[in-house]
Chain A
């Protein structure tokens, strides 16, 4: 019998499957299409201190095997999240992580402090890597000094909530920002956010997105994400004992298992939720089948068990 339970920095999850922020709203949008209780944990869409209307239309465009988005962190703001959405999340029955975005360190700290008082929340995922907001979070995520500053400030106000830091892939060496986050107190790393990218309408010679650039997600980015998870696991996270939530283009159990082997302790599904909300649960069955077939009894048995080829 296979045991799918995982423990991420003290958070007990029934299985290693999560939602990726921004692809499942605040849990009420999909309630009739996906039984969220069957997931290991739920990550909300980004919350900022004040509500945001987001970017101009068009905000998404499909590219080959992927999708570009520039929503601009449109969200209802902290107050309405706490008042309207938290009561529903409390009933969910699985751990809830709230993705938090901001412009200043004070923004992040204010939201994190308030979420300490919200019973439904088990952890916060620090979004220091949204590529679509001017003066937004991106410079935090790409500069190790800034990463350290914001992570340690937020860590100071986290008591009940576990601190997850979501890393940006838009860097030269992701191990550098990962190390900064871990040294500043990140308890879990989630990786990766989307890649800054552009699609052009060749007839009008203009970018298709109103924001000009957007974040690329979907199967197109999966091999890069797998490589980055492996790099951070082997160079930073393994030694520090910090678990990784791997994400980037996961559609099928095969994809999730790649991330687990590369060093992720859990996996999040994002863009695939738009395509087949209920179907993502099959990933769980696929992982169980794989563990059985390879004679393992727990998910942690295969985390980071990638065997590199010897180089001549």
Chain B
């Protein structure tokens, strides 16, 4: 048994080690619960324009699944030091530091889906692929081998491996990373997997394109990306501008493939992650043809832990046994007097939380 938090000062720099001491020993491989973990950066690779791959090494990490995520503290957060005297010479800038002096610092943790996991030599390697869009991701992009990063997880619910013989995984942009991890788990489960990866243009496709076998412009799956090939998954690449693979949306490439292959409805499952319009298109195609479809949604999160109630997702109602907050009115979800006084009509949808109930949902349950 281990307890969190350890009873030592959070800011003396000792707690991650103390924490690991508690995690290790005979119980090390059986950590069952989420928690705060210290991870060491093994690799930080730039995959394409503004996209980076981080390989992190941890002493231990609970069992996890594709679709689950971790939240990362993207910055050096330290308490304010006692006042100190600074001496400097004319013509020379004083060296100032501290969170309130060093410019912009992210406040909240940033959520990232897991792009892969390897259990090697008694340790765990986690992979995160991110797109630099602000201060938090810019901080991560600067990470160097050996740096310590604090992460909290695993959080949320991952993809269910559905009982079909075949599977397609569809990723768009930064929705591709969790599909890598899912492809890994699906192939390990013995499924025959084909991946579809889409991006606006070649420069922002976070995958390594092999020179031996370029992506087919006609949408034939091939071992054309190093990452999916490493997971024994043939891949179709689509770019909006036609700079690589199929010219057009990844949903069109999927449709074309389905027309060609005609898989039986009970033999194929569709899994997707990407921008909302892409996922809506994928869900429409998959459900319209009778295939089961799961999607991982992206939401702005405050806590990632089910507390702040920020990352709401509209889900069709009809399951009264559900544990989430049940709405009492349908007409004005933005909050009005009727809601407070309970003047209610049972609505056709309810809010669920992406962080706790998701981020993976059955596409058929969502109100798009």
Contact = CB atoms under 8 A, between A and B. Distances in A.
Nearest to B82: A254
Interface string B102-126: 0011111100000000000000000
A144 interface: no
A102 B341 CA distance: 9
A73 B108 contact: no
A225 to B, nearest CB: 16
A114 to B, nearest CB: 14
Contacts of A61: 300
B32 to A, nearest CB: 10
Interface in A65-102: 65-67, 69, 71-77, 80, 102
Nearest to A52: B339
Interface string A233-265: 000000000000000000111110000000000
A206 to B, nearest CB: 15
A285 B334 contact: no
B3 interface: yes
A274 B304 CA distance: 8
Interface residues on chain A, size class: 35 or more
Contact of B335 (A45, A73, A276): A73
B258 to A, nearest CB: 31
B157 interface: no
A55 B336 CA distance: 10
A34 B5 contact: yes
B165 to A, nearest CB: 37
Contacts of A53: 325, 327-329, 333, 339, 347, 350-351
A307 to B, nearest CB: 16
B306 A72 contact: no
A60 to B, nearest CB: 4
Contact of A134 (B4, B312, B336): B336
Contacts of A277: 305
Contacts of A136: 335, 340
A71 B3 CA distance: 32
Contacts of A151: none
B92 interface: no
Interface string A22-66: 111100011011110000000001001111111111111110111
A69 B159 CA distance: 29
A35 B3 contact: yes
Interface string B307-329: 11111110000000000011111
B89 interface: no
Contacts of A58: 300, 310
B337 A282 contact: no
B9 interface: yes
Contact of A254 (B80, B305, B307, B341): B80
Interface residues of B, number: 54
Contact of B328 (A52, A102, A134): A52
B301 interface: yes
A50 B306 contact: no
Contacts of B310: 57-60, 69, 71
A215 to B, nearest CB: 12
A274 B308 contact: yes
Interface in B240-261: none
Contact of B307 (A30, A67, A278): A30
A137 B141 CA distance: 43
B342 interface: yes
Contacts of A67: 107-108, 302
Nearest to A277: B305
B36 interface: yes
A60 B327 contact: no
B288 interface: no
Nearest to B103: A64
A54 B4 contact: no
A270 to B, nearest CB: 10
B47 interface: no
A73 B301 CA distance: 17
Contacts of B79: 251-254, 286
Contact of A62 (B4, B107, B335): B107
Contact of B340 (A49, A71, A252, A274): A49
Contacts of B350: 53
Contact of A65 (B80, B105, B333): B105
Interface string A263-275: 0000000010111
A274 B334 contact: no
A132 interface: yes
Nearest to B327: A53
Contacts of A64: 104
Contacts of A16: none
A219 B107 contact: yes
Nearest to B301: A60
Contacts of B40: none
Query: Sorted from nearest, which 7 A-B pairs have the closest CB atoms?
Result: A50-B342, A278-B5, A282-B10, A53-B327, A252-B79, A274-B303, A60-B310
Given A30-B307, A32-B4, A71-B309, 10 more contacts: A25-B306, A29-B306, A29-B307, A33-B4, A52-B340, A54-B351, A103-B340, A252-B80, A254-B80, A274-B307
